[in-house]
Amino acid sequence: MSAEVNTSGNPKVDTKKAKSSSLWLDSMSRLLKSKTSVIGLLIILTLIFTAIFAPYVATHDPTEQDIFNRYAAPSSDHWLGTDELGRDIYSRIVYGSRISIQIGVIAVGISMVIGVLLGIVAGYFGRWIDNIIMRFIDILMAFPSILLAIALVAVLGPSLTNAMIAVGIVGVPHFARIVRSTVLSIKETEYIEAARASGVRNGEILFRHILPNSMAPIIVQATLSIGTAILDAAGLSFLGLGAQPPKPEWGAMLSDGQAALQTAPWVIMFPGLAILIVVLGFNLFGDGLRDALDPRLKQ
Amino acid sequence: MSKKLLWSLFSVMLLVLLVVAGCGGDEGASSDDSGDDTNTSQNDNTDNSSNDSSSSDSSSSDNSDDKKTLVFGRGADSVSLDPSKVTDGESIYVTNQVYDTLVRYEQGNTEVKEALAVDWDVNEDGTVWTFKLREGVKFHDGTDFTAEDVVYNFERWTTSGEYVYYGYMFGASEDDPAGIIEKVEALSDYEVQFTLEEPNAPFLQTLAMPPFAIASPDAIEEYGDDYGNHPVGTGPFKFVEWLKDDRIVLEKNPDYFGQVASVDEVVFRVIPDNSARFMELQSGTIHIMNGMNPQDIATAENDANLQIIRRPSMNVGYMAMNTSKEGPMSSKLVRQAINLAIDKDKLITLYEGIGKPAKNPMPPSLWGYNDDIEDYGYDPEEAKRLLAEAGYGDGFTVELYTMSNPRPYMPQPKLMAQAIQQMLGEVGIEVKIVMNDWDTHLAKTENAEHDMAFLGWTGDNGDPDNFLYVLLDKDNAKVGSAGNIAFYKNDEVHDLLIKAQTEMDQEKRTEYYLQAQEIIHEDAPWLPIAHTTPPLGVSKKVSNYVPHPTGSEPFNYIELD
């Protein structure tokens, strides 16, 4: 799907000045004008950089235990202190960023693929197909998301992969709803009518014409969802249903550190901050993106 | 105008609703505790913290009857209050208050003293025991206690395999449901005689164990399968009510034949989270707690209102290796290698000062402990060599089953599992941690689903038999109800343990146990980890509290200010 965006976006890059009124470039410049979204973007870029270069950024092996040096306070050797097994918290957070990105991308990927497919089919074909799909979505929506995720993991068995699948499924309804409503308005437009009149097959109309034109809300939703997905997966790991030891997952780190909340607060504080900052980053960026892509804000 | 009126009416209603809701909390809570339990009703209003230390005094003066309520906070609820069917400490804790056994342990040690029986006699070869029973004792339901009731209870325990401890202690099985007890007879109203198939040295010690408490036959008949929710005994406290996963309320038995309790009521509350339970102790809403986070001990010691009382050590925490499973665990060399690959000094630091390293399957405080055995020590190179010799030079993957909640013999099982995962990883053994809650963990390990599993044992009667026979004899390696979760079957050990059971001469028994420990050490079905002195957090208002080494004690001696 992102390939579609590029093909429609690429030709315009060359003629940047001439065609500055294109949706994507316009939005980009608006996005960069907003301070909060730039902050969000910076946080995301830092996260990606840390994840890719984790071995160079970290100072210790994230799973190396030093049991005689448990709950050490932050020092020059252990920048953020050590945890309940004497592992370096800073290095664990650094390596944990890989897991967080993995969760964010894969879980949202799952929700996006399923959600977009369901939404587009429901919106385009309408009638009983729409009814069946949307009632199913309503059922999914009726559960509190974390509860549904817990139930799914309980069935699948606790592991990081299953946590990602569960969080992905929980996110499906949001995509399905947004895509459906977008499709409903696009399918009434004249160019779709024209395409249909000239005998273009349904599949082609859906994926060549409707989908690329509903990309903007999907992208916004995806960005916002990554933050939520990371948070949900951390919640699952906190409950012991996600990442299994010794994986340095942030939620699991929180859960392991809570016993020493009063005596060694850094064990729980820094992973908590990491989650907070990253989720904030995705939310700020997502909000900025939504404003930037909203055609009504076009000058 | 009318719109305005409607709005003001609406806001008045909202206000009234708020006030009612605000008061409702208090009313609901106190009616919950049958209105007289001042300390616990205070627990439910956690926002009412402004007067937490003084309110118990001030509010109890409001009460005309002025009850003293002792609140005991713990991590898990009882499984059943029929002690003959359970093995878990949380159930025994409560039944120890409600029931009496024929004989009881002295406070703080495992010497036996009179209880329902006032005198006893054994014939020369140790097979016929005669007990003279206390007269004038009544069950809580008002019926008289007689020799027939003792017979009834013992016969009940032979009727099915549900009575787990009876099987463990008297060698009962499906083919031989009565085990070594040939018959139990009432000679008169207050005299009962046991005839054993063979002498059993720990017999008297065993009778003092809480699972062999005498229950009211009338109540058992009346409640049937539901008896576990309606316990009726003769003990210092009577059962009042049980709100599952919340609390068990007991009231004092004023007609108790022993020392009548000083407190009027005992409440066992379930507070699963260790930190939350400790906070309640700090705020004074509970008086005694078990399962302290090691990190909180220092905090409690520095608190002017709290004290730490350590339970005398009579336990062992261990990692059992399932010898019955095909593959690496069935190889003695591999099991020895695992013992060598683990740095016990490091593991012990995870006990934060409450544990000592173990090398034998029984605690050093018991007679018969073999101190000549030298522990394996930490030698990863030797471990690798043994693994190669056993044909596992390239390593292998195993599952380590662990409980999620702390146990007295293992305060931080999850951390222990991770530490062992790391240490075994260094010699090429990849460990997968499988964590389950307590019930599930017990069920799965008894079912032999594990490769390796954590567990521990707190001695019940101060006899080595209660450790070695229960935990490592082939008789108790039955899939489904195993006490021996290493499923370790060694005939030589079995012979020694049976000989020790039937021998009445203590010196000879000691000799058998020393030998058995040597063989067990060599075969290495376990990684023995630690013996602990589990800390209890106790409010300074509580005095005369003497924790018993067997893990629970009756509360009738406790004084509460």
Q: Which backbone phi and psi does A146 adopt, to 5 degrees?
A: -70, -35
Q: Which of B349, B412, B421 sits opposite A68 (nearest CB)?
A: B349
- Do strands B103-105 and B112-114 pair parallel, antiparallel, or not at all (unpaired)? antiparallel
Pick B108 or B264 by higher pLDDT. Answer: B264
Structure confidence at residue A296 (pLDDT):
67
Q: What interface predicted TM-score (ipTM) does this complex get?
A: 0.71
- Do strands B396-403 and B542-543 pair parallel, antiparallel, or not at all (unpaired)? unpaired
Chain A partners within 8 Å of B296 (Cβ): 262
Mean pLDDT in residue range A110-123? 94
Residue B70 lies in a domain: yes
Q: Residue B296 and residue A240: Cβ atoms within 8 Å?
A: no
- What is d(CA A100, CA B451) in angstroms, rounded to the nearest whole number? 32
Structure confidence at residue B10 (pLDDT):
66
Give the three-class secondary structure for B150: helix
**Could you read off the pLDDT of A38-50 as tens digits, one per residue?**
999 999 999 999 9
Chain B partners within 8 Å of A65 (Cβ): 418-419, 422
Burial annotation B518-556 (CB, 10 A radius, 16+ → b, else e):
bebbebbbbbbbbbbbbbbbbbeebeebebbbbbbbbbb
**DSSP state letters, chain A:** -HHHHHHHHHHHHHTTTTTTTSHHHHHHHHHHH-HHHHHHHHHHHHHHHHHHTHHHH-SS-TT---GGGTTPPP-SSSTT-B-TTS-BHHHHHHHHHHHHHHHHHHHHHHHHHHHHHHHHHHHHH-HHHHHHHHHHHHHHHHS-HHHHHHHHHHHH-SSHHHHHHHHHHHHHHHHHHHHHHHHHHHTTSHHHHHHHHTT--HHHIIIIIIHHHTHHHHHHHHHHHHHHHHHHHHHHHHTTSSSPTTS--HHHHHHHHGGGTTT-THHHHHHHHHHHHHHHHHHHHHHHHHHHH-GGG--
Chain A partners within 8 Å of B412 (Cβ): 84, 259
Give the three-class secondary structure for B321: strand
Q: Which backbone phi and psi does A122 adopt, to 5 degrees?
A: -60, -45
Q: Residue A67 and residue B296: Cβ atoms within 8 Å?
A: no
- What is d(CA A281, CA A230) in angstroms, rounded to the nearest whole number? 12
Q: Which backbone phi and psi does B176 adopt, to 5 degrees?
A: -135, 75
Q: Does any CB of chain A come closer than 8 Å to the CB of residue B307?
A: no
- 3-class SS string, B60-73: HHHCCCCCCEEEEE
Residue B550 lies in a domain: yes
**Could you read off the pLDDT of B29-50 as tens digits, one per residue?**
333 333 333 333 333 333 333 3
**Could you read off the pLDDT of B267-286 as tens digits, one per residue?**
999 998 888 899 999 999 99
Q: Residue A259 and residue B422: Cβ atoms within 8 Å?
A: no
**Could you read off the pLDDT of B419-467 as tens digits, one per residue?**
999 999 999 999 999 988 888 898 899 999 999 999 999 888 888 999 9
Say if residue B525 is in the same domain as residue B542: no
Say if residue B268 is in the same domain as residue B123: no
* pTM, to two decimals: 0.74
Residue-range definition of the domain harbouring residue B171: 100-217
Chain B partners within 8 Å of A70 (Cβ): 349
Return the CATH number at B549. Answer: 3.40.190.10
Chain A partners within 8 Å of B298 (Cβ): 263
Q: Which of B277, B292, B293 to mutate to test the interface with A (most CBs of A within 10 A)?
A: B293
Q: Does any CB of chain B come closer than 8 Å to the CB of residue A38?
A: no
Q: Judge whether B308 and B423 are in contact, CB under 8 Å.
A: no
Structure confidence at residue B65 (pLDDT):
59
Say if residue B366 is in the same domain as residue B450: yes
- What is d(CA B313, CA A13) in angstroms, rounded to the nearest whole number? 76
Say if residue B343 is in the same domain as residue B471: yes
Nearest to residue B532, comparing CAs of B342, B315, B328?
A: B315
Nearest to residue A105, comparing CAs of A147, A159, A47, A173?
A: A47
Structure confidence at residue B555 (pLDDT):
94
Q: Is B188 left (phi over 0), alpha (psi -120 to 50) or beta?
A: beta
Say if residue B88 is in the same domain as residue B130: no
How many domains does chain B contain in total? 3
User: Which single residue is written with the structure tokens 């504080």?
Assistant: A269
Structure confidence at residue B54 (pLDDT):
39
What is the percent of chain B with per-residue pLDDT over 70, rounded to a whole number? 88
Residue A216 has pLDDT above 50, yes or no: yes
Say if residue B108 is in the same domain as residue B156: yes
Confidence of residue B242 (pLDDT cuts 50, 70, 90): very high
In A, minimum Cα distance to B292 occurs at A259
Structure tokens at A31: 């996005």
Structure confidence at residue B35 (pLDDT):
35
CB < 8 Å & 24+ apart, contacts of B141-144:
B141/B216, B141/B218, B141/B219, B141/B232, B143/B216, B143/B217, B143/B218
Burial annotation B168-202 (CB, 10 A radius, 16+ → b, else e):
bbbbbeeeebbbbbeebebeeebbbbbebbebbbb
Mean pLDDT is lowest, of A158-162, A240-244, B383-387, for A240-244
Confidence of residue B542 (pLDDT cuts 50, 70, 90): very high
Please state, rounded to an integer, the average pLDDT across all residues of chain A.
87
Please state, rounded to an integer, the average pLDDT across all residues of chain B.
86
A114, burial (CB in 10 Å: exposed 0-12, middle 13-18, buried 19+):
middle
Cis peptide before A246 (omega within 30 of 0): yes
Residue B51 has pLDDT above 90, yes or no: no
User: Which single residue is written with the structure tokens 């036959």?
Assistant: B217
Helices (H), B503-556: 506-523
Say if residue B162 is in the same domain as residue B65: no
Residue B225 lies in a domain: no
Structure confidence at residue B193 (pLDDT):
95
Confidence of residue B5 (pLDDT cuts 50, 70, 90): low
Residue B488 has pLDDT above 60, yes or no: yes
Residue B5 lies in a domain: no
Confidence of residue B312 (pLDDT cuts 50, 70, 90): confident
Structure tokens at B218: 């009338």
**Could you read off the pLDDT of A45-86 as tens digits, one per residue?**
999 999 999 999 999 999 888 888 888 899 999 999 999 889
Q: Please list the residues that pair with B239 across neighbouring strands.
A: B250
Structure tokens at A12: 């315009």
Return the CATH number at B468. Answer: 3.10.105.10
Q: Residue A259 and residue B435: Cβ atoms within 8 Å?
A: no
Q: How distant is the Cα of A67 from the closest Cα of chain B, in angstroms?
A: 6
Q: Does any CB of chain B come closer than 8 Å to the CB of residue A85?
A: yes
Mean pLDDT in residue range B123-127? 88
Chain A partners within 8 Å of B414 (Cβ): 245, 256
CB < 8 Å & 24+ apart, contacts of B434-437:
B434/B399, B434/B400, B434/B401, B434/B402, B435/A240, B435/B401, B435/B402, B435/B403, B435/B404, B436/B401, B436/B402, B436/B403, B436/B404, B437/B403, B437/B404, B437/B405
Say if residue B133 is in the same domain as residue B164: yes
Residue B342 has pLDDT above 80, yes or no: yes
Nearest to residue B168, comparing CAs of B516, B526, B492, B457?
A: B457
Say if residue B369 is in the same domain as residue B453: yes
Q: Does any CB of chain A come closer than 8 Å to the CB of residue B419?
A: yes
> Which residues neighbour B178 within 8 Å (Cβ) at sequence distance 6 or greater?
B158, B170, B172
Q: Which of A60, A71, A262, A266 to mutate to test the interface with B (most CBs of B within 10 A)?
A: A262
Residue B16 lies in a domain: no
Structure confidence at residue B3 (pLDDT):
61
Structure confidence at residue B485 (pLDDT):
93
**Could you read off the pLDDT of B108-121 as tens digits, one per residue?**
888 899 999 999 99
Confidence of residue B16 (pLDDT cuts 50, 70, 90): low
Structure tokens at B505: 């001469």
Say if residue B339 is in the same domain as residue B431: yes
* Residue ending a domain, choose from B187, B217, B247: B217
Residue B500 has pLDDT above 50, yes or no: yes
Residue A14 has pLDDT above 70, yes or no: no
Residue B25 has pLDDT above 70, yes or no: no
Q: For residue B150, what are the CA distances in angstroms to B172, B191, B193, B239, B353?
A: 18, 10, 10, 21, 44
Q: How distant is the Cα of A277 from the closest Cα of chain B, in angstroms?
A: 27
Residue B30 lies in a domain: no
Q: Residue A246 and residue B418: Cβ atoms within 8 Å?
A: yes
Q: Residue B346 and residue A84: Cβ atoms within 8 Å?
A: no
Say if residue B187 is in the same domain as residue B305: no
Say if residue B364 is in the same domain as residue B463: yes
Residue A11 has pLDDT above 50, yes or no: no
Residue B350 lies in a domain: yes
Count of CB atoms situated within 10 Å of the CB of A113: 14
Residue B58 has pLDDT above 70, yes or no: no
> Which residues neighbour B271 within 8 Å (Cβ) at sequence distance 6 or greater?
B73, B74, B75, B277, B280, B286, B289
Residue B480 lies in a domain: yes
**How many Å from the N-terminal Cα to the C-terminal Cα in chain A?**
28
Q: Residue A262 and residue B296: Cβ atoms within 8 Å?
A: yes
> Which residues neighbour B329 within 8 Å (Cβ) at sequence distance 6 or greater?
B321, B322, B323, B335, B398, B451, B452
Structure confidence at residue B156 (pLDDT):
93
Structure tokens at B208: 């003092």
Q: Which of B293, B349, B418 sits opposite A259 (nearest CB)?
A: B293
